[in-house]
Structure 1
């Protein structure tokens, strides 16, 4: 992040001056603006160098830098990373095993993560890719209310891969989980008090 020019580093003849409370002072010479800044015990900071004339504001530069750093830190903290979770299936999968894998995929999608569903082909199974497509389409249909197909089934060597993206964003999913937990806690407290 390139820092704005401050005080004597501002090398233009005139600036459009903005006061500490955001009020417009007008176009003044830089020397006059610096004098006003010194009288108010503030800094003259160039906030819009590309406008004509450049816009400068009277402010406490140290406080401004600190607040900008805190905003950036909060933005990094609140940023959520979506992960790509992988589920591996075989072409000849039992119904109970399929339901278990589908349950894992549902949990991942509810958590706001993408799911990569992979079918591994062995031996003669490789000559029947249409069966793999059929199984992946069945999985996509079963998970349709939780996610949408981001990349359709495609052959990748001995594997067939499909990616399903969640309908909810990760941040929405996290807040929903928090709300559900709070509701469960309240219900338990209500039962204990009875």
Structure 2
């Protein structure tokens, strides 16, 4: 994404601040217009001729680029491990940790280690966590009990 004087094309296809089409304009005129309105001239693509450019309020172009990068980035899946014999304080700590991860935009995989006949208790623990984290994330999978562990994945709210 090129801004202001870094745009080297002779002419640009200009779009105004409010989205109105201003047509094909020389780059000098577009830069003068941008300075007059106290906005940035942002080139969205150099692949066409003339390149499409927009007049964007100062700082908005940077925010927009950051939002686009966030949307492109696939969320990471972070795992939190628990045991069926977890105490109340430890449970709260793990819950807060999961909330922070979900609010940062990453998914959480909650895994409970199962020993012997604790499968039902592990499922109850995951259901409780899923209920407590309803405000921060949505379940991507059901509770899966297999072998020595039970797991559920929560995705962040969008």
User: Shorter-chain TM-score: what band?
Assistant: 0.5 to 0.7
How has the CA–CA distance of structure 1 residues 63 and 53 changed in structure 2, closer, same or farther, with 3 Å as cutoff?
same
Deviation (angstroms), 1:80: 4.9
Alpha-carbon distance in structure 2 between the residues aligned to 1:107 and 1:77: 19
Deviations 1:166-185 (A, max 9, x none): 6x75649xxxxxxxxxxxxx
Alpha-carbon distance in structure 2 between the residues aligned to 1:69 and 1:27: 24
Deviations 1:135-167 (A, max 9, x none): xxxxxxxxxxx9254xx84xxxxxx4455446x
**Higher-Rg member (1/2):** 1
1:15 counterpart (12, 21, 42): 12
Structure with the higher fraction of residues in strand conformation: 2
Unpaired segments ≥5 residues, structure 1: 114-145, 154-159, 173-194
The TM-score normalised by the length of structure 1 is: 0.46
Aligned twin of 1:107: 128
Matched, 1:147 2:132: no
The TM-score normalised by the length of structure 2 is: 0.55
Alpha-carbon distance in structure 1 between the residues aligned to 2:38 and 2:121: 67
Aligned residues: 121
Aligned twin of 2:33: 36
Unpaired segments ≥5 residues, structure 2: 72-101, 135-140
Q: RMSD in angstroms over aligned alpha carbons?
A: 3.8
1:53 counterpart (50, 53, 65): 50
Query: Secondary structure of the residue that 1:50 maps to in structure 2?
Result: coil
Deviations 1:48-74 (A, max 9, x none): 333332111122333443x448858x9
Alpha-carbon distance in structure 1 between the residues aligned to 2:6 and 2:127: 58
Deviation (angstroms), 1:22: 1.0
